[in-house]
Amino acid sequence: KNEVEQSPQNLTAQEGEFITINCSYSVGISALHWLQQHPGGGIVSLFMLSSGKKKHGRLIATINIQEKHSSLHITASHPRDSAVYICAVLASGSRLTFGEGTQLTVNP
């Protein structure tokens, strides 16, 4: 079993829909990152969080340390949100461990 599990692996939505991507992990962590990767490879860091909730524009990230679970929400989704979303956890030893990613496609 991977230390970081993401669901779903693939997600197709219509423009305007509310989207949720989930991340579960099995180790103690000091921080969790949500990353966005567009075709071509460039990665953008969306959030780094260790507790609670963060919001940036239409994106919201939450984390529940006790349940070892985080969610990334996208409100009013848009085709430009189409990308791979990756969850990464910073466990002991300061090594980042990545989930397999969620491929999101938002259709107009």
Residue 26 contacts other proteins per CB under 8 A: no
Q: How many CB atoms lie within 10 A of CB 22?
A: 15
Which residues are CB-contacts of 106 (< 8 A; sequence separation ≥ 6)? 12, 13, 14, 15, 17, 19, 77, 78, 79, 80, 81, 82
CB of residue 108 to other proteins, shortest distance in Å:
27
- Residue selected from 22, 48, 69, 73 as contacting other proteins according to rule CB under 8 A: 48
Q: What span, in angstroms and rounded, lies between the C-alpha atoms of 30 and 65? A: 10
Binding residues among 5-24 for other proteins as defined by CB under 8 A: none
CB closer to other proteins out of 4 and 19: 4
Residue 66 contacts other proteins per CB under 8 A: no
CB closer to other proteins out of 77 and 104: 104
Q: How many CB atoms lie within 10 A of CB 71?
A: 17
Cis amide bond preceding 79, omega within 30 = no
Q: How many residues bind other proteins (CB under 8 A)?
A: 23
- Residues near other proteins (CB under 8 A) are 30-31, 33, 35, 40-45, 48, 86, 88, 90, 93-101
